[in-house]
Amino acid sequence: MSHETDRVEAAREAVRLACAVTKQVQAALDDVRAITKDDKSPVTVADYASQAIVGHILRERLGEGVVLVAEEASAFLRDDDNAAHRDATLAAVQEVLPELDADAMLEAIDIGSGDTHHGGFWTLDPVDGTKGFLRNQQYAIALAYVERGTPTIGVMGCPNLPADFSEPLDAPDKHGCVYVAIKGEGVWQYPADNDRADGTHIKRLDHAKGEAISVCASVEKAHSNVSDTDRILEYLAAQGEPAGEPTRLDSQAKYAVTGRGQADAYLRLPTRKGYVERIWDHAAGCLVASEAGCFVTDIHGKALDFTHGRGLEKNKGVVCAPPRVHGLMMGAIEALGIGGE
């Protein structure tokens, strides 16, 4: 096997197992809250369990040289004041990795303390879309391999995302989806609960003039500048490009929904001056969408630049859309002066 094949298979296994465990935690929200006496504890437990699983599987399959840059560190769980959270996390992890004890779990979480000063490294958001998770709706496990500043492998688990477009997005799906993208080779969709199923190649059609433009938006409005989104849609409507009903869901699943053609654009417009997006919030999702046929840039048309540590320091906002809609969005942003200093 090639190194790339090894990486893809390890990443897919890690994300699939993380999907299974986080879905179990989500299904037991009230039980976890009762154990920890903390309303937000289910997403805390899911975050740590997901990162432990991904870190352990990557190192087990790919060796000690794995570099993982992730959100979490184990210090919170190591504090005995948080023993209930530690025990709940360990119970979740042991659903799929029964051989791990507490020490091994904590060590696996801390595999995510790597840095970006390497020719190649992994980056992970163990649970992206925390409020969606707590509402029992959409969230994602987003893992990407970044090579010389460019995401080359993106594996994104969306445990509650239905493959069927007719199914609602505001309720958990039985099967969920996992997306596997390889730079220059395409993206495939798999059921999240079946590691033996064949994948479906995803390639969206471009948008046609006169079709309504549906923007894939966050349920949590603070994640993007909603008033600017409305201004863009109003501007385009005045140019004869009608707006459709928005598609609302949380997390990087928005990249997949746009990439597979269920929405026509994902906009993440700046909400405040100086805000810097984090690499793990976009590395996997942007590769999934771009390999499906979308353009993914910042609001100034620049490619997302993953060469500046943990932040997208040289970018402002995100615009993800198929070519025609991307061009319309960029024209509207420029005409309206959105994102100007």
SS3 225: coil
Distance of CA 65 to the CA centre of its chain: 24
How many CA within 13 A on the CB side of residue 129? 31
- Locus of tokens 């004890």: 101
User: Shortest CA distance to 125 belongs to which of 112, 136, 134?
Assistant: 112
- Locus of tokens 């942007």: 286
Sequence-ordered list of residues with C-beta below 8 angstroms from that of 99, at least 6 positions apart, any chain: none
Instruction: Please enumerate, as own/partner, the contacts of 108-111 that have beta carbons within 8 Å and a separation of 24 or more.
Output: 108/51, 108/52, 108/53, 108/55, 108/56, 108/59, 109/48, 109/51, 109/52, 109/55, 109/72, 109/73, 109/74, 109/77, 110/55, 110/73, 110/74, 111/55, 111/56, 111/58, 111/59, 111/66, 111/68, 111/70
Instruction: Give the integer Cα–Cα distance in Å for 66 and 145.
Output: 11
How many CA within 13 A on the CB side of residue 28? 17
* Catalytic center residues: 47, 130
User: Shortest CA distance to 283 belongs to which of 142, 148, 185?
Assistant: 142
- Locus of tokens 């029992």: 136
DSSP state of 130: H
